[in-house]
Structure 1
Amino acid sequence: MTCMCAEDTPSQQAVMSGYTTPKGALCYAELGTSIKKSGGHYIYLLETLGPLPAFLRLWAEFIMIRPAVSSVVALAFGQYIAEPFFSPCPAPEVLVKMLSIMGFSFVVAVNCWSVNWTSRLQILLTTIKMGALVLIIVPGVIKLSSGQTENFHKAFDTSSLTLDKLPLAVYAGLYAYAGWFYLNFVTEEVINPKRNIPLSIILSMVTVTIAYLLMNISYYTVMTSQDVLESNAVAVTFADRALQGFSSVIPILVAMSCLGALMGGYFAGPRMLFSGSREGQWPVLFAMIHIRRHTPLPALLLMYPMVVFMILAGELFGLVNFYSFSRWLFIGLTTMGLMVHRYRNPDLPRPFKVYLFVPAVFTVVCFFIVGMSLYSDSVNTGISFALTLTGVPVYFLLVQNQRLPLCFIRAFYTLTMKLQILLEGADLPGGADLLNLGLIKAFTAKLNSAL
């Protein structure tokens, strides 16, 4: 799937995003080797800028970013499953959403059932994804080498590019590269992180950048920019023109690729929530695993309704703008935190270290993009900003001072215990002290004082 703004083309997006994201990836490689805790953005903000920005990132992840990201990929899955049956007409929206919910439900079920099955299916879907990329890239390269270059005569024409549309175009391009920070969610589980985190991030970024550029070159060899913009499912249109014998296979392969992206994102998400629970900023229930399945079933199931709601209420491109604002705001804050961390801890060992101008430039770019996007799409990005700020009173009421009456804390404690029993949840190994954190700790303290 290629997401784009009507004012921009995939080739321009690929170049802009391919130039921007490696800087952020290098910054996260340094953070991952110097701050040896799992949790990604959350733990880095906690260690560099303090508890409030960290909690807001956790809050945005749960109520907005993770559900919206999962919804976008699920909607793409539904679109590619339904589109071939209705082409050249658009597929019915209701059918696309139903298929999206079914695909997402399958991913949740597998993640809840077994970590081993999730890993095996992820490997299979990644293999299928690479096969789909090869099927798309090879025919385009063959046609290009045979002299079919007429669609590239004005490939980088920027006459239609306007400053107010640039952030939304970059959001769409950055979406294709998203995922370079997921390894930082599981830093403590990585073997030899000093070597493997930078190596994995750099190799994956190079691979994705090359694959994305070659895929767009292949698209543009066969299709004009107008064809790409008008297509509801670019790979389907491409297959109809360049792969007549495989035109029915490509949509299925792309849909399987979407399932793989869903699987990976939903596997990594609970790790951030676990880190928040471990630090006392998030309910302990989200850090529990199923006693028999050994999967983070409570976190997976409790996030499920929000994803379904966003699938039903949103549309693909609106959701990309909606969650991208908050995601890239906090990524910018994280790389700014890297510079603060350098200043505060100049002697801290850093096995992998980038030049200071790298986080500086990346931070400025992130803040420029999120600032301009408030003007470009004030509705979606404004709602995203407002929802992020709702975490401020939640932080001061529930996390910092816990200014809640005893009856509320008792009710929350009871609800947690009931859900723990219902979902057969237990603390992760080494997490037995989690019951003494957060609201549970406040309940115990107030109860003791009352007695």
Structure 2
Amino acid sequence: MKRDAHRLNLKREIGIIGAVSFIAGTMIGSGIFMSPQFVLLAIGSPGASLVIWSCCGLVAMCGGLCYAELGTVIPESGAEYIYMLRTAGRVVAFMFVFSFVTVMRPASATAIALGLAEYIAAPFYHGCIPPQPVVKCVAAAVILALAIVNCMSVRLATGIQVLSMVVKLLALAVIILGGVVLLFQGHTENFENSFEGTNADVSSIGIAFYQGLWSYDGWNTLNCLTEELKHPEVNLPRAVVIAISLVTGLYLLVNVSYLTVMTPMELMSSNAVAVTWGNKVLGSWGWIMSVAAALSAFGSLNGTFFSGGRVCFVAAREGHMPAILAMAHIHRLTPSPALIFTTIVSLLVLIPGDFQSIVNYFSFTAWFFYGITLSGLLYLKIKKPELHRPYKVPIILPILVLIVAVFLVLAPIIDNPQIEYLYVTLFIASGAIAYVPFIHYQLCPGLLTKLTVFLQLFLEVAPAEKNL
């Protein structure tokens, strides 16, 4: 059977509304409903926490605009992976995709699913923390449900993203309006001496940024699916500016509302901030916030699956993952093998994981590779100025975001070294070792070919071409 006999193309079905929904919808997930207490716990004061949230929004905006230029210069899906492949070479790109499919994307999906499960379980365990086995079983069920949706239809996944975006905005609007009403009623006591107790050490600032930037994670979502975006040279930068500006404003207002309703101690000790807020402001209707937070995280997880499957798909197309992962369903035109693989790894990460540690290690790994990607943009600006650039950013932007990336990678290690960061670093480096036998020398090609043919028939998939 010839695998190349019938090649498929992923369709350009995502317009500007879908693009904004994918960025903002992926960003607004469990983070804003769970991370505020961890940011406050790390930085120590309400005023400093608001500064952290503002700076995180600025970093996300600068990073998103830099990625918009990369996405128009290299108009291929795959985000960091494809940009590293075109600038830093095959070994570095493989190190990224090796870490991405085994740590970064599964950790991201798992952390969102755990946050979602906490909110689903919270109404059934009023006054106490839901048991971890229950939370993990609910998280696994949600992961499986969204994997099925994304395998079924691009249009259905996009529709869920737009619908969940509406729910998120309504939920955040309720929180913001509740806070505004209480502020006008004179409840400003939590903002007196708001910078008192600030932790100004490097490690605390770094961890606070990790938790804050986790809530902004998703600013690069659209770069993962550039080939499915209509008019990417226009819609990519436009969607980045609209979505990140919207999210930053909402996050700041929501945090002000949290701090208006709850004391810093109440906020730091809350297991589900939005539910605590709802119980204090809405009374018997507090369960509404639990439902809204769960639906919000559901949309974020949907966006994570949608984009993560595409990176795996593109890496397989370039020969860095098994060929079966570069195939799409012959009828539904979805990269179902890549999505199934991502789902399996996410479920494995879910077994030992807890929310806070997953976020920290994800952020450490992510910003290491963001730094390499931004170095690639600087390389293209300096060494290849002749490349066609439908959209350009000033060179100072990638330099500033690169400095932030270096700080976020080094700060927790220098100020408060932990052995876990060494393990993560060694794991990233192991990607270069795995490259030699499995990619360079192509070990066991015969076995992989037989397995690919079997799975291709079983899953009804065929190779897909680039959609440029």
Q: Say whether 1:299 aligns with 2:335.
A: no
Q: Name whichever of 5-14 and 168-177 sits farther off.
A: 5-14
Alpha carbons 1:80, 1:252 under 8 Å: kept: yes
Q: 1:246 corresponds to which letter in structure 2?
A: W
1:313 maps to what in 2? 352
Question: Which residue identity is paired with 1:94?
Answer: P
Structure 2 CA distance, aligned partners of 1:107 and 1:379? 34
Q: Highest relative contact order (Cα 8 Å, sep 6+), 1 or 2?
A: 2
Long gaps (5+) in structure 2:
1-32
1:382 aligns with 2:422: yes
CA distance in 2 between counterparts of 1:193 and 1:7 reads 38
1-structure distance, mates of 2:323, 2:375: 29
Q: Could you say what the CA RMSD is over the residues aligned between the two structures, in angstroms?
A: 1.8
The structure 2 residue matched to 1:410, chosen from 439, 446, 457, is 446
SS in 2 for 1:381: helix
Partner of 1:425: 461
1:235 Cα deviation after fit: 0.4
Alignment match, 2:114:
75
Q: Do residues 391 (structure 1) and 423 (structure 2) align? A: no
Structure 2 residue corresponding to 1:186, chosen from 225, 235, 239: 225
User: 1:361 corresponds to which letter in structure 2?
Assistant: L
Alpha-carbon displacement from aligned partner over 1:161-217 (angstroms, at most 9, x marks no partner): 321222221011001111111111122222222221111101111001000001001
For residue 355 of structure 1, give the secondary structure of its aligned residue in structure 2: coil
Q: How does 1:43-54 map to 2 (within 5 A)?
A: 43-54=82-93
C-alpha displacement of 1:143: 0.9
Q: How far 1:364 moved relative to its partner?
A: 1.3
The letter for the 1-side match of 2:458 is: L
Matches of 1:148 and 1:364 in 2, distance apart?
A: 39
1:156 is displaced (CA, Å) by 3.5
* Higher alpha-carbon Rg: 1
Residue among 262, 269, 278 paired with 1:223: 262
The answer to whether the 8 A contact 2:202-2:412 is kept is no
Deviations 1:383-406 (A, max 9, x none): 32222112111212222x3163xx
Equivalent residues of 2:119, 2:293 under 8 A apart = yes
Match of 1:7 in 2: 42
Other structure's SS at 1:426 match? strand
Is residue 176–residue 253 contact of structure 2 (8 Å, CA) maintained in 1?
A: yes
Q: Secondary structure at the match of 2:128?
A: coil
Deviations 1:253-305 (A, max 9, x none): 10011110010110111211222222222221111122333322211112222
Say if 2:87 and 2:379, in contact at 8 Å, map to a contact too: yes
2: CA distance, partners of 1:244 / 1:95: 26
Deviations 1:94-119 (CA, angstroms, capped at 9, x unpaired): 11111111111111111122222222
- Partner amino acid for 2:34? T
CA distance in 1, matches of 2:180, 2:381: 45
Question: 1:59-208 counterparts in 2 under 5 A?
Answer: 59-157=98-196, 159-208=198-247
Instruction: Report the alpha carbon displacement of residue 377 of structure 1 after superposing the two structures with TM.
Output: 6.2
Contact 2:42/2:207 (<8 A) preserved? no
Paired residues of 1:323 and 1:384 also in contact (CA < 8 A): no
Cα pair 2:199 2:205 within 8 Å, conserved = no
Distance 1:190 1:294, change over 3 A: closer
Deviations 1:132-184 (A, max 9, x none): 11111110011112221111113334633321222221011001111111111
Of 149-158 and 17-26, more deviation after overlay is shown by 149-158
CA gap 1:355/1:313 in 2 versus in 1, 3 angstroms? same
Matches within 5 A, 1:6-45: 6-8=41-43, 10-45=49-84
Q: Does 1:242 align with 2:274?
A: no
TM-score normalised to structure 1 length? 0.90
**What number of residue pairs does the alignment pair up?**
427
- What SS class does the counterpart of residue 321 from structure 2 fall into? coil
Letter in 1 for 2:175: I
> Is residue 74–residue 258 contact of structure 1 (8 Å, CA) maintained in 2?
yes
What secondary structure sits across from 1:412 in the alignment?
A: helix
Q: Percent identity between the aligned chains? A: 34
Cα separation, partners in 2 of 1:96 and 1:299, compared to 1, 3 Å: same
Query: Structure 1: how far apart are the matches of 2:442 and 2:230?
Result: 42
Which of 260, 274, 297 matches 1:258?
A: 297
Q: Equivalents in 1 of 2:149, 2:231: separation in Å? A: 29
- Structure 2 residue identity aligned to 1:172: Q
> CA deviation digits over 1:336-383, x for unaligned, max 9?
111111111122232222221211111011011111233546244333
Matches within 5 A, 1:281-300: 281-300=320-339
Kindly state the Cα deviation for residue 20 of structure 1 after the two structures are TM-superposed: 2.0
TM-score (norm. length: structure 2): 0.87
Alpha-carbon shift at residue 246 of structure 1 (Å): 2.5
| Gaps in structure 1 of 5+ consecutive residues | 432-451
Say whether the 8 Å CA contact 2:111–2:355 is kept in structure 1: yes
